[in-house]
Structure 1
Amino acid sequence: MTAVPSACIVGWPAKHSRSPLIHGHWLRTLGLEGSYGCEEVRPEDVVGFLQTLQARGYVGCNVTVPHKEAAFGAMDVLTDRARALEAVNTVWIENGVLHGDNTDILGFVASLDAETPGWASRTAHALVLGAGGAARAIVAGLLDRGVELVTILNRTRDRSEQLAEFFGKRVQASRWDAVSQLVPSADMVVNTTSLGMSGQPELDISLEGLKPGAVVTDAVYIPLETRLLAEARRRGNPVVDGLGMLLHQAAPGFEHWFGKRPEVTPALRQLIVDDLARSAR
């Protein structure tokens, strides 16, 4: 008898993750046997946990903060995307061998494709706020889709300069306080920081002078409409919230673990939106 495949989300903390809800929905709608759980693993224990993933009964896992860089170092085989970003968020096992990928890039561009079709052909210059792991994946996605220039702004200038150097001549670093001068030249503004997230300080920038068709997107999805997105919507700019990226990045892992490619549907989005609303009460 074939064992029922089981996967999980690995993080510290991880109980807030919506991944079990996402994958549980796909298992039910596709009529597949399987399970998806949650494992909170301390940073000092994560490499050992991943190296014993199969012995723990798992066929793979998602990896969330702060473990993506550690997971990169624990893999036997890496995709080109994971190697380029030096971070892993999706793990699966083939013949006892740990494979690692980074699907954050795919999640970001798939979300943009779904919400603002044709965005890439209209985006020559993108402003990216923040220089952490999410920013790295998002910059890679923008460059891959042909954006000519990406400007990274981070409160710590050293981090933005390091990221710009990592990607090369199509990426430049600028001062955080230069945002108001740069917004009018941008075809897209992306917040990759935690600013604006529930429990965090607000992202205090102005979109004054932003082009009418410029896209504004936020990696934050709690709340779904951050102050940044609310301001963009008031101005009439197209907006993309962070939930789409979360949903789309999950699909490749599900296919590895359970054998079928799931779809990101309005019903799945509504399921997560309703859960977020309940948790906010």
Structure 2
Amino acid sequence: MGPEQLGEAVKQLGKTHKAKVRDWIGDELLKANFPTIHAVGRASHREPRLIELSWGKADHPKLVIVGKGVCFDTGGLDLKPADGMRWMKKDMGGAAHAIALAGLVMQAKLPVRLTLLVPAVENSVAGNALRPGEVVVTRAGHSVEIDNTDAEGRLILCDALAYGAEQQPELIIDFATLTGAARVALGPDLPALFGNDDALADAALTAGRAVTDPLWRLPLWRPYRKMLDSYLADFANAGPSRHAGAITAALYLERFVPDGLPWLHLDTYAWNDADRPGRPRGGEAMGLRAMFALLQQRYGKR
């Protein structure tokens, strides 16, 4: 599946639920001020894009759902080894979760004004690929030094989060197959949950337990922001330390969420490495049912 297929999936979902869908493709991203999405995806023959779906009544609480749509990840110029690249078709698992959650919200007719945002790219290698040491100024105005081109998910998410925050929502939820560090910490079955509101995070954990879709909260330990320091930009997208990789990735994303705006970030594996009873090998929903249960509790039904 490439970026264009993700776009078609969102358009089909929009037709089903009479939602408005638009997208920005290729150089349109630069004109619309989505520079990091363009930078990550510009080396692919499949053009990068940001896909937006809007649904619901204007007077309902605003909800933004964001999903990482890296449809294939070579690692870019910081090329992955063969075994690390083999299954990188699954790096759009966050987008799949976000699209599915948006579909559940619309099917249940929850009283929200929904925006779904899917930045969709391939992280490829070519002469115009994003380079280590390059500095990109993001939509939010932060300058970011590219320490590692394989830390691309947070780059495409940061422009989408900034755009979503501009809509002044009541809540932002993002899904991403973001870090191997989360898998080292928690294994393949437990998505790492980060949140900037303790009551909201506790409610998410409780909802996950209620529907047997467990999550495990990790801290936004702000002293670790120093691990992303840059001497020539506001901060870097990664750093030399291998410590706390899932936390530093979440701290990177947090910079693009305004203070006081409730936000949940799920670093999910979205994949089964082998067949298990009721869970065939391949893509797997992890954290999806928990988030839908949370939204049902928060907003109720019409």
Q: Tell me if both proteins adopt one fold, taking TM over 0.5 as the criterion.
A: no
Higher helix share: 1
Q: TM-score, normalised by structure 1?
A: 0.31
Task: Mark the structure with the bigger radius of gyration.
Answer: 1
